[in-house]
Structure 1
Amino acid sequence: MNTIKHRAENLNNGGSVTVYYCGYEKCESGHSWGPAMRNQYLLHYVISGRGEYTVGGETYSLHPSECFLIRPGERTFYSADREDPWEYMWVAFDGFDVLEILRRTGLVSRYVASVENGGEFVRYLREMIDEFSQGGLFKVMSCFYGAMSVLEKSAHGGAYTREHEYVNKAIGYIKSNYGYPIQISDLARHIGIDRTYLYRIFTASENMSPKQYLMQVRINAAKKMLLAGTYSVGETALSCGFADSASFCGRFKRCTGMTPKEFIADSQKRRTEA
């Protein structure tokens, strides 16, 4: 057999993004997986060769310097070309901040993307695989975010526009101040631009308004606190920028479909069943 595999797994940091496993494979002719579903996001990068990826009734032909994304719960199938089977690297991940990562890398509504600086991308993935097998959590996450930064640059043509800088400043401000009763006017004033202009460029970049993004950050932060098991609902509400427990519980249910207590119970049940 000519198949070469390198796989590392079971390093879970429980943070806003968790890398579950990563690896490398030089596939044999016609090697395939599926149709089946994955439990996490799985990103493959094609180093050499060719293959096909099928999801949602669409089939994509993949070539070197391209990547394809598998989303959890979606039925997928992929196979190596019989004449020129692909060689690829992969990383499986999930977490509260994944949606933002997909937006920044251009994969929020796409399954396939080209990578402009493939050499740098591969270097990060190789380092991630090496560190993963040694249990180096911080280095693994550093390499993961490094690889995502390469995808982000590719999604923006390798350069950052002034509008992109404004959006990044807005996101940074929100993440640093979501626990305070900030207004979008505060955000625009901090960046030094008009509120209407901020709304337009932010919505175009993130597919949601600044206000919606702020609420998403608050709810995600609340989820982490609730799952920690050491904070009350009241403490969580005030820490995440809500005026009181009642307003927090109402907003949390509208966003998640569950009350905070139901969310905790559901999470505990899932861990027990896993």
Structure 2
Amino acid sequence: MKKRTIYGLLALLLILGCKEDERLMFEDEASVYFGAQLNNGGFYSLDSLNYSFAFEPEEVEQDTFYVYCRITGLAADHDRRINFVADEGNDAKSGYHYEILNPLIPAGQYGNDIAIVLYRQPGLRDSLVTALLRIKDSEDLRAGYNDTGAQPVGRSEYTRREFKFTITDQLLKPTNWDSSWLSSFGEYSEVKIRFISSVTGYTSWGSNPLPQDRNFIVQTAYQALYNYEQENGDLIDENGNPVKFY
């Protein structure tokens, strides 16, 4: 009986020791990456954003968007800093075109929305600037996953260590218009996109919304154009053509 008791105690200590080693390993190996979020029953994740101030009133001087960062491993009892490093080829300048606010994972949390403030500078009226941010190792957190892929990863071009955004004050044709919006709204025009944005509030044309959000945008725009035509006749674009959604 004594031998069995001793063996049992040794086995228990071994198990507890292994669990402690695993806990320490997770804490030592904690890393951070750009993560996916749950929204309306589904996951979404973006690896890039194209932002234009052209949709905003003249008095708007800045705007803010958020990127979600997630950790692997366990939550900590203290804030942990995330190390964002700007690519050397960026022409968007930190502190002038944009500013990252409080890049950290708060104590007790597994993720955080990191605010990036964009500034409306005069030079953006005739230019577009680009920033590519990379997560690098910090004293608190290592750089996390370096993969791309379908949902919930949701990143087609940039890895989960990277996020790219552009800023302009020009009204440019979105790069995804023909592949994503042509079938719903027809050929691009500035008047058309301004009208859709004004009635739907949607301005993130460089990204692809969730299906339910897309349906809202399309249905709202169709109804608004119909109402406009009933009251005013055709809406005419900058090329002298009536705005039609087909």
TM-score range, shorter chain: under 0.3
| Higher CA-based Rg | 2
**Structure 2-normalised TM-score?**
0.27
**Structure 1-normalised TM-score?**
0.25
Q: Does 1 or 2 have the higher relative contact order (CA < 8 Å, sep 6+)?
A: 2
